[in-house]
Amino acid sequence: MTIKGKAYIAGAWEHPTRKAPDKTVAQLHAECAAGALADAGLSKDDVDGYFCAGDAPGLGPSSMIDYLNLRVRHMDSTDIGGSSYLLHVAHAAQAIALGACNVALITLAGRPRSAGQATGTAPRPINTDQPDSVWEAPFAQVTANSYAMCAMRHMHQYGTTSEQLAWIKVAASHHAQHNPNAMLRDVVTVEEVLASPMVSDPLHRLDCCVISDGGGALIVTRPEIARDLANQRGRPAVRVLGAGESLKGQGGGDLDLTVSAAARSGPAAFAQAGVTPQDIRYASIYDSFTITVLIQLEDLGFCAKGAGGRFVADGNLISGVGRLPFNTDGGGLCNNHPANRGGITKVIEAVRQVRGEAHPAVQVANCSLALAHGTGGFLGSRHGGATLILEQAQ
């Protein structure tokens, strides 16, 4: 069954806070839900489907549906890390196409910054029930060195340089300067990225994403509902044109560190949408680290494998300057990486671009077709990937 055109994103909202010591995670979820519903022009009583992932407190849907006082007939708590929320858009579209719900609410929220989590540089607790833990935990794998391995291998195999990776941060900073909620609003240079402290060779501090509280929410609806709501607000509707999902594991030891799950989720999304990477006007790309962006751009087909360094250099990702504007809100590198799961913000900014509601300084002209892609897990071991193609529908 195809979901092409079977569902629309009618509401999208990003929590403005980046540090919330006075709020609970459940409260942040509720505020995000209220924001997305208001953006769509709906109330909580219209919601009959709810989607969340591992960031939701308690028993996930059981706890949050009760906390939000929803009456739903469909729910989903699939968790593949930071890419979960793009996958939830696709799953919501499937549920809508099957008649399981009409209005789906997707929420994300968390407080890692207030909790003081060193999410990228501290080993995670050993869980002996997790099948990979007993083999990897003794070597103290942490998030940063998992991604650094991929960067080092890409450099060795294809000649990618730290200067090329730095251009990704530079592009993100050019966009973040226009976002009043962004954590890092100062424009940086390649030289400043390279001069920042080394975190895990070859990744510098400015190659790494921010750690933030906050969250976001999305509303996915039946086409006729979304079109009616969009007409009431005098803005374009956002059609879900295609989606793909994939998991990449160790492959029994047959592991290429330079390839991500996007190599499978991307082609699936493009095939369903009936478009190609050359048709995309704007791309929201998960940016936990600069190397994450580079590898995903290759795997999604925006350039050949190994050509990512040359593709991202010299401002090619800067809106109004380059060939492929990316992460025009500043992304996880500069703006927001709530709950260490930045996938939902990728969809939110893609929706803004398709609607023509991004900041005027970074709005892509005639943004009729946008891509959002998320990665969740460790790029260097196992992770999930989810890709969405969104289209402007008048």
* pLDDT tens-digit readout, 258-309: 999 999 999 999 999 999 999 999 999 999 999 999 999 999 999 999 999 9
The mean pLDDT of 346-361, rounded to a whole number, is 98
On average, the pLDDT of the chain sits at 94
Q: What pLDDT is recorded for position 49? A: 98
Three-state secondary-structure class, residue 270: helix
Structure tokens, 177: 């300067």
The mean pLDDT of 315-342, rounded to a whole number, is 96
Q: At what angle do helices 290-299 and 262-273 cross, to 10 degrees?
A: 50
371 pLDDT higher than 80: yes
Taking the C-alpha atoms of residue 83 and residue 76, their distance in angstroms, rounded to an integer, is 14
Q: At what angle do helices 162-176 and 290-299 cross, to 10 degrees?
A: 100
**Model pLDDT for residues 214-236, shown as the tens digit of each residue:** 999 999 999 999 999 999 999 99
Q: Do the Cβ atoms of 173 and 188 come closer than 8 Å?
A: yes
Q: What pLDDT is recorded for position 47? A: 98
Q: Of residues 164 and 377, which shows the higher confidence score? A: 164
b/e per residue 51-67 (b: at least 16 CB within 10 A): bbbbbbbeebbeebbeb
Task: Return the H-helix or E-strand segment holding 269.
Answer: helix 262-273
- Among the ranges given (18-22, 136-140, 271-275, 303-307), the one the predictor scored with the smallest mean pLDDT: 136-140
pLDDT band at 134 (very low <50, low <70, confident <90, very high): confident
**CA torsion sign, 18 to 20 to 26 to 28?**
negative
pLDDT > 70 in the chain, percent? 97
Q: What pLDDT is recorded for position 126? A: 64
Taking the C-alpha atoms of residue 198 and residue 175, their distance in angstroms, rounded to an integer, is 24
Phi, psi (5° rounding) for residue 135?
-95, -25
Q: What is the pTM of this model?
A: 0.96
**Model pLDDT for residues 25-50, shown as the tens digit of each residue:** 999 999 999 999 999 999 999 999 99
Q: What pLDDT is recorded for position 50? A: 98
Taking the C-alpha atoms of residue 110 and residue 20, their distance in angstroms, rounded to an integer, is 9
In the block, which residue shows the tokens 């956002």?
238
**Model pLDDT for residues 68-122, shown as the tens digit of each residue:** 999 999 999 999 999 999 999 999 999 999 999 999 999 999 999 998 776 666 6
59 pLDDT higher than 70: yes
pLDDT > 90 in the chain, percent? 88
Three-state secondary-structure class, residue 35: helix
pLDDT band at 123 (very low <50, low <70, confident <90, very high): low
